[in-house]
Amino acid sequence: MKNNEADDARKNEIYKNKILTVPNVLSAFRLLLVPALAWLYLVRKDYSATAWVLLLSGATDIADGFIARRFGMGSDLGKALDPIADKLTQIVMLACLLTRFGNLLFPCVLLIVKEIVTGCMGIAVIRRTGKVLAAEWHGKLTTFLLYTLMIAHVVFYNIAPALSDTLIIICTAMMCFSFLLYMMRNIRALKSVGKKTEKKPERTVQAFER
């Protein structure tokens, strides 16, 4: 058991600063799918193809996370690249769907605000701590619900208003919940750095007195 944990730790250390890894390639591929989604939906108006590309994007998202965890290929770049690919996909796809479904305006605006705020706080955490914080379960659940919302509105072009509103309410509630939890996590991370900084002079004084 200890040997397995030691092997996992070594793998994580090896891949931590690597750029060219399988999960990172999959995340980059997902970024390339973003303009394809917009083109298929807005220009070609090929909703079946849009749905398949969206499913492919979701599948690569699941695959890169699984590979990173299973084979210890997680990297700092991957921790940043994966959510960027997710959020760009979601924002662009929701913006495209707005041309047909006006009731998606609120979740689209909320998502943009959420990502700007958490993104700025995440950058502050990186600058203060030197660490890239990984996505948490509530963020992954929010992503799943957003993909469900988007695929439902792409596949069911004439989706029933009641079903559409229900999906939007569930998704919006989860976004707000995740937003709050990420804010709390980032604030704790920033406060912990401040506490460590305050303690340093005390240790110096104690050492001098000895």
pLDDT in tens, 123-182: 899 888 888 787 889 998 999 999 999 999 999 989 999 999 999 999 999 999 999 999
In three-state secondary structure terms, 162 is helix
pLDDT value, residue 15: 65
Q: What is d(CA 113, CA 120) in angstroms, rounded to the nearest whole number?
A: 11
CB atoms within 10 A of CB 115: 19
Residue ranges of domains in the chain: 2-209
- Nearest alpha-carbon partner for 27 in 50, 61, 53: 61
CA distance 100 to 19: 39
Q: Which CATH class is domain 2-209?
A: mainly alpha
Tokens 């980032």 correspond to 186
